[in-house]
Amino acid sequence: MNRRKKLAELVSITRKFLEQERDRGVREVMQHRVKRSPEVEALDDLATSTKDCQKCGLGRTRKNLVFGAGNPKAELMFIGEGPGFDEDQVGLPFVGKAGHLLTKIIESIELTRAEVYISNIVKCHPMKNPDRPEMRGNDRPPTQEEVGQCLPILLKQIGIIKPKIICALGSPATRALLNVTEGISTVRGRFYDFFPPYGNFGEPIRVVPTYHPAYLLRDPTKKSQVWEDMKKIKKALATGGSLHERADRK
Ligand code: URA
């Protein structure tokens, strides 16, 4: 039976059941709520409190605020620069061409997008010309002012998720988290200690900068270096003895 037929059958069975219940005099349907983890609750609360944000000009020109997506208990987080046109359309991070490459990067260490958490330093699409969102080459890096207004959302996300490792994609993400002055080609693949201002951390989170996938699309010769960085991350995740442990991760 194909999926559509199966669904139609399920709807018909459910309708029959509800009609029978109504005929028996039942007037209320009991709702079973799925128990949600504290991380899911906290991320949902944060998303709700930020969904109408107008702290910078990007709020006026966005279609969707791109909060982030993935496992609320992820050991590994990827942080990019900011949503592009595709991400703004659907409200999810890294869904365009660079996103497809990020999926491959994640899969190169035998993880899936659902197992990691993906977000950005700014949550709304920075554009050169906000009157032409769909125009090619219209993306721009976020300004310092935009990063300054938006960064607390990311820092709170990190405080809730408590990843072991954050992979910072490109220079803007790296500089937003770390006090480094060298370029991305120097800092990539290194492990930096990071204590986020929200949440309790006995041990630092390790931040590992690497090249942004959009940069790899322009210069594929740099791919092998990202693959090297990912191998280091995989090894660190597997031998995370010195990193803080959480027994409740799935
Ligand atoms: N580039 C980014 O930095 N973030 C996205 O979400 C998409 C593209």
Domain spans of the chain?
Answer: 35-237
Look at residue 31 in the predicted model and tell me its pLDDT: 63
Residue type, 225: Q
Q: Is 87 in the pocket of ligand 1 (CB under 6 A)?
A: yes
Ligand 1 centroid to 238 CA: how many Å?
27
Q: How many residues are listed for the chain in this entry?
A: 250
Among protein residues, the one whose CA lies closest to atom 7 of ligand 1: 94
Ligand 1 centroid to 87 CA: how many Å?
7
- 39-47 contacts at long range (C-beta below 8 A, 24 or more positions apart): 39/72, 39/73, 39/160, 39/161, 40/72, 42/160, 43/68, 43/72, 43/157, 43/160, 43/161, 46/153, 46/156, 46/157, 46/160
Q: Is 94 in the pocket of ligand 1 (CB under 6 A)?
A: yes
Class of domain 35-237: alpha beta
Cα separation of 77 and 105, whole Å?
13
Q: Is 120 in the pocket of ligand 1 (CB under 6 A)?
A: yes
Q: What is the pTM of this model?
A: 0.84
Look at residue 1 in the predicted model and tell me its pLDDT: 63
Ligand 1 centroid to 96 CA: how many Å?
8
Q: Is 67 in the pocket of ligand 1 (CB under 6 A)?
A: no
Q: Is 84 in the pocket of ligand 1 (CB under 6 A)?
A: yes
Over the chain (250 residues), the average pLDDT of each successive run of 10 is 73 76 69 84 98 98 98 98 97 98 98 98 98 93 98 98 97 97 97 92 93 98 98 94 45
What the block records as the tokens of 247 is 């027994």
Burial zone of 14 (CB within 10 Å; 0-12 exposed, 13-18 middle, 19+ buried)? exposed
Burial zone of 176 (CB within 10 Å; 0-12 exposed, 13-18 middle, 19+ buried)? buried
Ligand 1 centroid to 156 CA: how many Å?
19
